C-alpha cells in the first residue's frame, strides 16, 4: 500500500472552493434613535434577500466583552461589484442615510456546511 503523500501548497490551494462573495461592513452615522426607526424595514429587507438566496449571512460584530456592536457584517452573493452595490444600497439603513457601508470581495476557501438554515424564522433543509 502506498503512503499518502503530502500535497504541495499549490495543490492545496487549487482544491479550495474559491467562491467569491461580497462583504458589506455597515456603520451607523446617525444617532441610535434614528437608526432604530429603520430597523423594521431593514429586517424585512434582510429576510427578503435571505429568502431569495442572496444573503449568505449577517449580524452585528461586537468587540469581546462589549455588548455594543462596532459594526454590522452582511455577506451576500452577487455576480459583480455593481450588483453588490445595488443590493447594499437598497437596504433601508443605507438608502435612508442612517448607516454607511464599505464593500469588500471575499473568497470563501475553507469551511463546512451541511444544512440550509434561515435564522430569521428558524426553518431548515438538509442538503
Contact indicator for 101, 83 with CB cutoff of 8 Å: no
The rounded distance, in Å, linking the Cα atoms of 5 and 27 is 47
Report CA-CA distances (Å) from 47 to 30, 53, 64, 122: 23, 10, 27, 12
Residue 76 lies in a domain: yes
pLDDT digits (tens, 9 = 90+) for 13-35: 888 878 899 999 999 999 999 99
> Is 6 within the bounds of a domain?
no
Q: Is residue 62 part of a domain?
A: yes
* CATH code of 67's domain: 3.30.70.1060
The total number of structural domains in the chain stands at: 1
Is 8 part of any domain? no
Q: Which domain range does residue 42 map to?
A: 18-126
Give pLDDT tens digits along the chain (127 positions). 556 789 898 888 888 878 899 999 999 999 999 999 999 999 999 999 999 999 999 999 999 999 888 999 999 999 999 999 999 999 999 999 999 999 999 998 888 877 788 888 888 876 5
Look at residue 49 and tell me if it is in a domain. Answer: yes
The verdict on residue 10 lying in a domain is no
Distance of CA 55 to the CA centre of its chain: 6
Q: What are phi and psi of 98, to 5 degrees?
A: -85, -20
In angstroms, the CA 124 to CA 82 distance is 30
Amino acid at each position: 500500500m502506498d503512503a499518502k503523500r503530502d500535497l504541495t501548497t499549490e495543490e492545496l490551494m487549487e482544491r479550495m472552493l474559491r467562491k467569491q462573495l461580497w462583504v458589506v461592513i455597515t456603520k451607523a452615522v446617525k444617532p441610535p434613535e434614528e437608526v432604530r426607526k429603520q430597523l423594521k424595514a431593514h429586517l424585512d429587507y434582510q429576510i427578503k434577500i435571505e429568502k431569495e438566496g442572496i444573503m449568505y449571512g449577517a449580524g452585528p460584530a461586537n468587540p469581546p466583552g462589549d455588548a455594543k456592536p462596532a459594526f454590522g457584517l452582511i455577506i451576500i452573493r452577487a455576480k459583480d461589484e455593481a450588483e453588490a452595490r445595488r443590493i447594499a444600497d437598497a437596504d433601508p439603513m443605507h438608502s435612508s442615510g442612517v448607516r454607511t457601508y464599505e464593500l469588500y470581495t471575499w473568497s470563501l476557501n475553507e469551511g463546512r456546511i451541511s444544512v440550509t438554515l434561515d435564522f430569521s424564522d428558524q426553518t431548515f433543509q438538509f442538503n
